[in-house]
Each structure stands twice: as C-alpha cells, then as structure tokens.
C-alpha cells in the first residue's frame, strides 16, 4: 500500500522551478548534439516548471487558449500520464490486502 503524496514544501517547489528552468535553458546546447536530446531536455524542464509554478501554469493555459492546435498535442501527452495514475489508483483501491 502506498502512502498518499504530500504537497511539496517551499524549498522543494523552488528547487523544482530552478532545475526546470535550467533544463529549459540548457536544451539549445544539448540540441547541438546529434539525436533528439534537446527536445527531451526541453520537455522535462517544462514539465518540472509547470508542475511547481502557478504562474507557469497560467501561462500554459493562455497558450492553450490562443493556439488550441498545439495545446491539444501537449494535452494528449499530459492525459496519458494522468490516465496511468488514475488506473494505478483504481487498482490500489480495488486490491484487497
């Protein structure tokens, strides 16, 4: 049985934002290397920033409203992770131990 996740403390939230922004800033440098590494680093950095920053989430919502086509692509990726999490939670609920 897993323990419920507690909300991140202030220093963890700030560390997540800082690391996320550093990854976003480093993605053009990693992009110079052969392969799709820059895109992966950018996606991880944006994900960490969105998860820990309320202001970044507001900007993301405005982005989705202004350009719905691109917003649908990112939303599809986010829904996949959300579905996996919900499926795991349901299986834990229904699993008698």
Question: Which pair of tokens denotes residue 87?
Answer: 């499926």
Domain parsing of the chain, residue ranges: 11-66, 69-97
Whole-number pLDDT of residue 26: 92
Whole-number pLDDT of residue 25: 93
Whole-number pLDDT of residue 60: 87
Mean pLDDT of 44-59: 88
Tell me the pLDDT of the chain averaged across its residues. Answer: 81
Of 2, 30, 24, 29, the closest CA to residue 88 belongs to: 2
Q: Are 51 and 78 in contact (CB under 8 A)?
A: no
Q: Which residue has the higher pLDDT, 80 or 59?
A: 59
Token pair 């960490």 is found at: 48
**What's the pLDDT tens digit per position in 63-90?**
888 988 877 777 776 666 667 777 788 8
Token pair 């220093």 is found at: 11
């Amino acid at each position: 049985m897993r323990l419920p996740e507690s909300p991140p403390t202030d220093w963890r939230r700030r560390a997540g934002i800082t690391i996320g922004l550093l990854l976003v800033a480093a993605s053009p440098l990693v992009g110079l290397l052969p392969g799709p590494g820059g895109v992966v680093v950018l996606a991880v950095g944006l994900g960490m920033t969105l998860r820990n920053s309320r202001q970044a989430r507001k900007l993301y919502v405005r982005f989705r409203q202004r350009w719905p086509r691109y917003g649908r692509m990112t939303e599809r990726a986010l829904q996949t992770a959300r579905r996996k999490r919900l499926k795991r939670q349901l299986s834990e609920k229904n699993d008698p131990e």
